Amino acid sequence: MSRPLIGITAYAEVARWGVWDTRAVLVPEAYVRMVRQAGARAVVLPPDDADDAKELIGRLDALVLAGGADIEPAHYGASPHPTTRTRPDRDAGELAVLTAALEADRPVLGVCRGMELLAVAYGGSLHQHLPDLLGNSRHQPAPGVYGAHPARFAPGSCAARVFGDAGEVNSYHHQAVDSPGALTVTGWADDGVIEAIEDPARRFVLGVQWHPEEAGDVRPFAALVAAV
Helix H or strand E segment including 159: helix 158-163
The set of residues, in sequence order, having a beta carbon less than 8 Å from that of 76 and lying 6+ positions away, is 120, 124, 125, 126
Q: Which of 112, 116, 195, 198 is catalytic?
A: 112
Angle at CA of residue 12, ends 65 and 3, nearest 5°: 45
Q: Do 210 and 171 form a contact (C-beta atoms < 8 A)? A: yes
| 72 assigned to active site | no
Residues 106 and 116 sit within 8 Å (Cβ to Cβ): no
| Catalytic status, residue 103 | no
Q: Which of 72, 94, 198, 213 is an active site residue?
A: 213
Strand order from edge to edge, sheet including 5-9: 41-45, 5-9, 62-65, 108-111, 205-208, 194-198, 184-189, 147-153, 166-171
* Short-list 82, 90, 136, CA closest to 113: 90
**Which run of H or E residues covers position 117?**
helix 113-121
Told to judge if 112 belongs to the known catalytic residues of this protein, a careful annotator would answer yes
b or e along 29-64 (b: 16 or more beta carbons within 10 Å of the residue's beta carbon)?
eebbebbeebebebbebebbeeeebeebbeebbbbb
List the catalytic residues: 112, 211, 213
